[in-house]
Amino acid sequence: MAARPYWRGQIRLALVSIPVEIYSATKSGATIAFNQIHEPSGKRIKYEKVVPGIGPVDLDEIVKGFEYAKGEYVLLDEKEIEGVKLESKKTLELTQFVDAQDIDMIYFEKPYYVVPADDLAEEAFIVLREALRRSHKIGLGQLAMRGREYVVSVKACGRGMVMETLRYADEVNKAASYFRDIGDAAPDEELLDLATTLIDKKTGKFDASDFHDRYADALRDLIERKKKGKTLNIDTDSGGGDPRGSNVVDLMAALKNSLGSDGGGVKKSATRQAAKTAAKKPTAKTPVRKRA
């Protein structure tokens, strides 16, 4: 395999150890990178590592330091850091198995491909892969890579497996602090029926190739036009309005217009559904208890 492994080690399940290699499953190919340029000269700005009162220093004079008090540092070199003994630097032990839906998607961070390290490891690798697939479970463990220890999940994927790093609980902001001001009123049934129908109309199988970075494409086009010396007409009013749109929005009309020609049939269906729901609702004289 031409790619270079991101990590080499073993997956351990009880007394079974499987030598594996892990490769990054993603790449940042669409990113447009910019450099800082000194406009008068047109030359690129570079940065030097300097010490106040001393000036530029050589790279071999630089070590890592942890500031334990203001201006006070504990100095560590790379050998000392590498010498920290942690079993998860070479072994990913699967200590728990859970249903995939038990983990909130917000905890998943970055995916990696997992493959057997050699032919001898292949049999055990396939057994673990198929056991995960048959049980519909994902394995959890901890793995040390590139200066930190991650919680990771492992699941079957085609002929191989995918490992994903997970965020720790203290790395995720609690949703309640952001969602607490959102009301808990039940939505209008007719509006809900129209919105559900619109979702059904636009439902299909996911294909990542259907999407591309349009902003990166626009930047490339801008760069090409600038290279050719073309005058650019930039609309300074673009996006300058209120992103929330009009203060008064006819949600019913917007949903019906979104459905296009299907709106008529949906209207009848939504009206019938609303009538059925209304019949089940308490009368105006019946008090409705709101949640605290």
Q: What residue type is 116 in one-letter code? A: P
Q: What residue type is 52 in one-letter code? A: P
Reported as a single tens digit per residue, the pLDDT across 216-271 is 788 888 888 888 887 666 665 555 555 555 544 688 888 888 887 454 444 454 44
Reported as a single tens digit per residue, the pLDDT across 172-204 is 998 888 888 898 889 889 889 988 888 888 888
**Is residue 129 located within the same domain as residue 269?**
no
**Is residue 88 located within the same domain as residue 164?**
yes
pTM of the model: 0.68
The mean per-residue pLDDT over the stretch 6-12 comes to: 93
Residue 221 is assigned to a structural domain of this protein: no
Based on the structure, what is the number of domains in the chain?
A: 2
Residue 241 is assigned to a structural domain of this protein: no
**Is residue 128 located within the same domain as residue 260?**
no
- Of residues 249 and 38, the one with the higher pLDDT is 38
At residue 215, φ and ψ (nearest 5 deg) are -65, -40
* Residue 188 burial (CB count, 10 A): 15
**Is residue 132 located within the same domain as residue 264?**
no
**Is residue 161 located within the same domain as residue 192?**
no
Largest CA distance in the chain: 82
Residue 142 is assigned to a structural domain of this protein: yes
Task: Using the predicted structure, report yes or no on whether residue 146 has a pLDDT greater than 90.
Answer: no
Give me the pLDDT at residue 110, please.
94
* Residue 126 burial (CB count, 10 A): 14
The mean per-residue pLDDT over the stretch 126-149 comes to: 92
Nearby residues of 203 by Cβ (< 8 Å), 6 or more positions away: none
Among the listed residues 282, 16, 254, the one whose alpha carbon sits nearest the alpha carbon of residue 131: 16
Task: Using the predicted structure, report yes or no on whether residue 136 has a pLDDT greater than 90.
Answer: yes
Query: What is the DSSP code (8-state) at residue 185?
Result: P
- Of residues 102 and 285, the one with the higher pLDDT is 102
**CATH number reported for the structural domain that contains residue 105 in this entry:** 2.40.290.10
Range of the domain at 259: 187-200+253-281
Residue 122 is assigned to a structural domain of this protein: yes
Residue 226 is assigned to a structural domain of this protein: no
Give how far the C-alpha of residue 163 lies from the chain's centroid of Cα atoms, to the nearest Å: 14
**Is residue 196 located within the same domain as residue 104?**
no
Residue 99 is assigned to a structural domain of this protein: yes
**Is residue 19 located within the same domain as residue 92?**
yes
